[in-house]
């Protein structure tokens, strides 16, 4: 199937119904659905609120010390999938039932005391950054004291714990991702410094590190396609996918923070395990599961919310049975432009996402 010239969106019934249901759920009226989407700065937690939440943590520490008690930090256990729930309205999130299992970082325990100190150190760094309205990457924070942090993962884990404990997105803590990624398509916006940006279909634009600073977003896109790999992103650009399927937006996945992709609007187009037989992809184009893959698959099947997602469970079962996986590049077995010319247009028109 090819889509020369302007796309006839009347054919894309399932995608259009899905798009409209999402917009209506977000409070966009039917009367406004045909015009371009215009967004101002997103609603975010104020700096005052961020500072106050950090102050509350420090006040608890001081209160414990004043009582001659050893301060303790209590965190929701992010590694326990029993603490995670999936809802159609919010996607994946920590359970709000109050039954979350927790873990403690004690200041009087030789094993956890160093982490307790580093936790307060990073809280101090964040507090100063929010106060002075400056931003830094996690890598920048690591280099403020490499001797005590030891390695980058220590900083990564603590910043994620802080974000979870304070219930504040990492960007609102003024901590940025190292990677930016690229974006192309039907989108224009104004950067934090006032620069006007137009993401045309013939060029790519680097996504700003501080996406919260983007404002006046304007688009008529029918969908946003998130692409995992740069090579696939470039392949779609070379195939003029953005123009053929206009209006749309494509973006590399490294432009996003994984822990913030917990929104129900995201759908997995593929390559799905059920596509292996449906498309008759030869075994020579598939990749056997490694021990690490099998371990990950087993872990996914034990997560409580999977039992309530039949489509997800079906794909996991197929993968467990065939013990194979596939990269999106497997579609080049049919032709170099099969992904942009056949696979994605058919998925968008007839559904088949989960």
In the predicted structure, residue 155 carries a pLDDT above the cut 50:
yes
Question: Is 189 a catalytic site residue?
Answer: no
Cβ-proximal residues to 38 (8 Å cutoff; 6+ apart), any chain: 216, 217, 218
Q: If you average pLDDT over residues 207-235, what whole number do you get?
A: 82
Query: Given a cut of 80, is residue 220 above it in pLDDT?
Result: yes
Q: What is the pLDDT of residue 235?
A: 84
What are phi and psi for residue 328, nearest 5 degrees?
-60, -25
User: What does the pLDDT look like over 162-189, one tens digit per residue?
Assistant: 988 888 888 789 887 655 678 889 998 8
Average pLDDT on 237-244 reads 86
Active-site residue, from 127, 143, 305, 308? 143
Average pLDDT over the chain reads 80
Q: What is the average per-residue pLDDT within 283-304? A: 89
What is each CA distance from 121 to 16, 145, 164, 190, 346, in whole angstroms?
Answer: 49, 10, 17, 35, 52
Q: In this structure, is the dihedral angle defined by the CA atoms of residues 272, 274, 275 and 281, taken in order, positive or negative?
A: positive
CA pseudo-torsion sign 15, 17, 23, 29: positive
Tokens of 259: 């822990």
Name the pTM for this structure. 0.62
Strands (E), 91-221: 91-94, 102-106, 136-137, 175-176, 182-185, 187-190, 196-199, 205-206, 215-219
DSSP 261-284: ---TT----S--TTHHHHTT--GG
Cα–Cα distance for residue pair 33/51, rounded to 1 Å: 39
Lowest mean pLDDT among 62-76, 149-163, 240-254, 268-282: 240-254
Q: Model confidence over 313-330: pLDDT tens digits?
A: 999 999 999 999 988 888
């Amino acid at each position: 199937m090819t889509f020369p010239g302007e796309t006839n969106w009347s054919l894309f019934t399932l995608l259009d119904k899905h798009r409209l249901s999402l917009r209506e759920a977000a409070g966009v009226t039917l009367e406004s659905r045909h015009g371009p989407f215009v967004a101002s700065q997103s609603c975010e937690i104020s700096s005052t609120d961020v500072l106050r939440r950090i102050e509350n943590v420090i006040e608890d520490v001081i209160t414990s010390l004043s009582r001659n008690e050893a301060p303790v930090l209590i965190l929701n256990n992010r590694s326990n999938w029993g603490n995670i729930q999936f809802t159609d309205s919010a996607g994946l999130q920590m359970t709000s039932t109050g039954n979350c299992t927790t873990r403690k970082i004690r200041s009087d325990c030789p094993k956890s005391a160093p982490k307790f100190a580093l936790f307060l150190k990073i809280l101090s760094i964040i507090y100063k950054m929010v106060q002075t309205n400056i931003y830094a990457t996690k890598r920048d924070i690591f280099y403020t004291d490499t001797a005590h942090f030891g390695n980058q993962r220590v900083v990564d884990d603590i910043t994620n714990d802080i974000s979870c404990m304070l219930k504040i997105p990492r960007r609102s803590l003024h901590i940025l991702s190292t990677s930016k990624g690229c974006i192309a398509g039907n989108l224009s916006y104004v950067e934090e410094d006032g620069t006007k940006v137009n993401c045309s279909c013939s060029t790519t634009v680097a996504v700003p590190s501080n996406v919260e600073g983007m404002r006046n977003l304007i688009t008529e896109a029918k969908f946003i396609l998130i692409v995992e790999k740069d090579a696939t992103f470039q392949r779609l650009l070379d195939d003029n996918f953005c123009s053929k399927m206009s209006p749309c937006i494509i973006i590399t996945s490294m432009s996003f923070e994984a822990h913030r992709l917990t929104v129900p609007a995201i759908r997995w187009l593929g390559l799905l395990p059920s596509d292996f037989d449906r498309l008759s992809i030869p075994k020579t184009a598939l990749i056997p599961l490694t021990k690490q893959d099998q371990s990950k698959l087993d872990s996914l099947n034990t997560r409580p919310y999977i039992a309530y997602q039949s489509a997800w469970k079906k794909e996991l079962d197929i993968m467990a049975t065939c013990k194979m996986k596939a990269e999106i590049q497997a579609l080049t077995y049919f032709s170099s432009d099969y992904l942009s010319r056949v696979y994605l247009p058919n998925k968008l028109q007839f559904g088949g996402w989960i």
